[in-house]
């Protein structure tokens, strides 16, 4: 009605709130981010495809691109299903080594496995090299074809491995190394009878440097 005051309350005034303004990317920044995202997607797709082909049964594509798959997958993502079977580890392996100098004097046997075991004992983040490097190298040597180029390469690797491990514990200049392996079968489940170890000696191998030349 005329003359009556309005019962409506005045609306509060809203003050502008200061806040971060949206970031506006430049055109080249958007292009670079898009290219990086595309590259990541491409590498991911290639990785998934290569892993699928490498892990799947032999087929036309895996045989055709075998060299490329080995170059891409094998060095870093080699598959090993021994954790699940059908061939789990059934024996403990101990590797010992001794060295000989130019006059023919020989050192005492040094337990390389014990050195690596001591390095990982009580270590919350043990080195993968100390855990598996020696065992895997020895398994690869024993399973390689006798007299092949692969076995000769693995033999030189083992010699250099021993020289590195003994660089502090065995002083002096040496010309050859000899390995002894002790294999102890693990007792079957439910039994506690200890199994006697079997040992095998390798011939004396010339001590080599990292580039393969004889010292």
- My answer on whether 57 and 157 are in the same domain is no
Q: Is there a domain that residue 168 lies in?
A: yes
- My answer on whether 99 and 59 are in the same domain is no
- My answer on whether 179 and 129 are in the same domain is yes
Tokens of 148: 């092949």
- My answer on whether 135 and 194 are in the same domain is yes
Q: How many domains are there within the chain?
A: 2
Q: Is there a domain that residue 143 lies in?
A: yes
- My answer on whether 191 and 106 are in the same domain is yes
pTM of the predicted model, to two decimals? Answer: 0.56
Least confident of 11-25, 53-67, 93-107: 11-25
- My answer on whether 108 and 192 are in the same domain is yes
* pLDDT bracket for residue 131 (50, 70, 90): confident
What are the beta bridge partners of residue 177? 99, 205
Q: Is there a domain that residue 214 lies in?
A: no
- My answer on whether 102 and 147 are in the same domain is yes
**Over residues 98-112, mean pLDDT:** 90
- Note the pLDDT tens digit of each residue in 41-85: 998 998 888 888 877 777 888 788 888 887 877 766 666 665 555
- Write down the pLDDT at residue 35: 92
Higher pLDDT: 86 or 210? It is 86
- Write down the pLDDT at residue 94: 92
- My answer on whether 124 and 174 are in the same domain is yes
Rounded CA-CA distance 155/151 in Å is 6
- Note the pLDDT tens digit of each residue in 139-155: 999 989 898 999 999 99
* Residue 134, domain extent: 91-206
- My answer on whether 53 and 128 are in the same domain is no
Rounded CA-CA distance 132/129 in Å is 6
- My answer on whether 198 and 122 are in the same domain is yes
Contacts of 107 (CB under 8 A, 6+ apart): 98, 99, 100, 170, 174
Average pLDDT, the chain: 80
Rounded CA-CA distance 120/138 in Å is 19
Cβ proximity of 73 and 54 under 8 Å: yes
Q: Is there a domain that residue 78 lies in?
A: no
Cβ proximity of 113 and 134 under 8 Å: yes
- My answer on whether 97 and 169 are in the same domain is yes
Q: With the C-alpha atoms ordered 126, 209, 102, 135, is the resulting torsion angle positive or negative?
A: positive
């Amino acid at each position: 009605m005329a003359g009556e005051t309005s019962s409506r309350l005045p609306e509060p005034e809203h003050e502008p709130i200061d806040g971060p303004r949206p970031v506006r990317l430049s055109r080249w920044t958007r292009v670079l981010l898009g290219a990086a995202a595309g590259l990541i997607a491409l590498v991911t797709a290639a990785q998934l495809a290569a892993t699928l082909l490498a892990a799947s049964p032999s087929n036309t594509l895996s045989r055709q691109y075998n060299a490329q798959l080995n170059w891409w997958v094998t060095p870093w993502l080699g598959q090993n299903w021994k954790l699940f079977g059908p061939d789990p580890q059934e024996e403990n392996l101990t590797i010992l080594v001794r060295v000989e100098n130019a006059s023919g004097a020989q050192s005492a046997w040094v337990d390389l496995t014990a050195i690596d075991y001591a390095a990982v004992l009580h270590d919350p983040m043990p080195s993968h090299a100390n855990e598996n490097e020696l065992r895997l190298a020895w398994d690869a040597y024993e399973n390689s074809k006798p007299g092949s180029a692969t076995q000769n390469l693995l033999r030189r690797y083992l010699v250099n491995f021993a020289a590195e491990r003994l660089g502090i514990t065995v002083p002096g200049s040496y010309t050859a190394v000899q390995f002894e392996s002790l294999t102890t079968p693990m007792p079957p489940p439910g039994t506690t009878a200890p199994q006697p170890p079997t040992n095998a000696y390798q011939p004396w191998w010339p001590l080599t440097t990292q580039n393969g030349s004889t010292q």
